[in-house]
Amino acid sequence: MFRYIWKKEIQGELYTWKSTLWLLISSLLFSVTSYLLLTNKELSLLDQTELLWLLGKIIIGVALLIVTVDASSSITAEFEKETAESLFVSPLKMKDFIVGKLLASLTLWAAIFVVSIPYILVTSAGSHLAVAFLFYIALLGTLGILGFVFLIFAVSLLFRSSKNTLTTSLILLLGLSIPAVFTSTLKTDVVSQIISKVNPIDSIFSSLDNVLVDYKLSLTQNWQYILPLILFCMLTFGLLIFAMRHFEKKGVISNE
């Protein structure tokens, strides 16, 4: 049954031009970034691997931001626009509802990834890293986005308000992103290193660095970065399960 929710979400995004707008914004940001990386005097002096690394950070950063904003209203809109009551008096199960919404968010990520492919190919022209770069962007982006969507959906079910969900999700995203953009020279103490190791966004950027700068292309060589991402997904999935149970216990309508 989840596929009907998934289809409805995709249709809704297309009819309301929301996804078109998101893809246009992504495309513009990737265009500006690629143009600057390739033509700006100072930036173009960077090594190609560093250009790719910067582009990779921007692709994943933009995708995380767009999916966060989009997913924040995905569940809560059903309550705020009073469509939840009709949905939940039907035989629709909670897990189908969540899976349908989750697939819609992953579809948005997939579309952003597809939009980014030409920019990746242009920026990596002449390099042997294009395929590995694409693979790692897809893998790390999917894991990161999956974890964040689990988290956002859990917050949505607990708060049932798009404003609260969006604010909380953006604070969490910013909170995890800010330490990740610091250079490794600022992360010499034990605390910073621990935070860096458990921070999913840091893991994504470090893995890209490992692939592009250190040429460590195999999955086994990136395991130390992929594992924290998987753990992050498991943790947020656990939180989502808790939020679903809490939601079902309280009822679709929790108060008047």
Partner 1 sequence: MSSIISIKNLSKSYGTQKAVDGLNLEIQRGEFYGFLGPNGAGKTTTIRMITGILQPDEGEILVDGYAVHEKEYVAKIIGVVPEGRGFYEWMTAEEYLYFFANLYSVSKNNQTSLVDSLLTEVDLTKRRHSKIGTYSRGMRQRLGLARALINRPQLLVLDEPTLGLDPQGQESVQKLLRKLNSEGVTIFLSSHLLDEVSRLCTRIGILNNGRLLVEGTEKEIREKTNLKDKNLTEIFLHLTRT
Considering CB under 8 A, how many residues would be counted as binding partner 1?
28
Contact between 4 and partner 1 (CB under 8 A)? yes
Residue from 92, 117, 195, 198 that binds partner 1 (CB under 8 A)?
Answer: 92
Stretch binding partner 1 (CB under 8 A), from 74-82, 128-136, 185-193, 228-236: 74-82
Residue from 183, 218, 220, 255 that binds partner 1 (CB under 8 A)?
Answer: 255
CA distances from 94 to 15, 50, 75 (A): 25, 44, 11
CB of 83 to partner 1, least distance (A): 4
Contact between 220 and partner 1 (CB under 8 A)? no
Residue from 21, 24, 85, 121 that binds partner 1 (CB under 8 A)?
Answer: 85
Q: Which residue has the tokens 């190791």?
A: 197
Residues 8-67 that bind partner 1 (CB under 8 A): 8, 11-12, 15-16
Contact between 126 and partner 1 (CB under 8 A)? no
Contact between 246 and partner 1 (CB under 8 A)? no
User: Can you read off the two tokens belonging to residue 213?
Assistant: 């700068």
Q: How many CA atoms lie within 13 A of 56 on its CB side?
A: 33
Distance CA 148, CA 49 (A): 27
Distance CA 207, CA 204 (A): 5
Q: Which residue has the tokens 């679903």?
A: 244
Distance CA 141, CA 135 (A): 10
Nearer to partner 1, 40 or 254 (CB): 254
Burial class (CB in 10 A: 0-12, 13-18, 19+), 136: buried
Nearer to partner 1, 105 or 199 (CB): 105
Task: Give the binding site for partner 1 (CB under 8 A).
Answer: 1, 4, 8, 11-12, 15-16, 78, 81-93, 249-253, 255-256
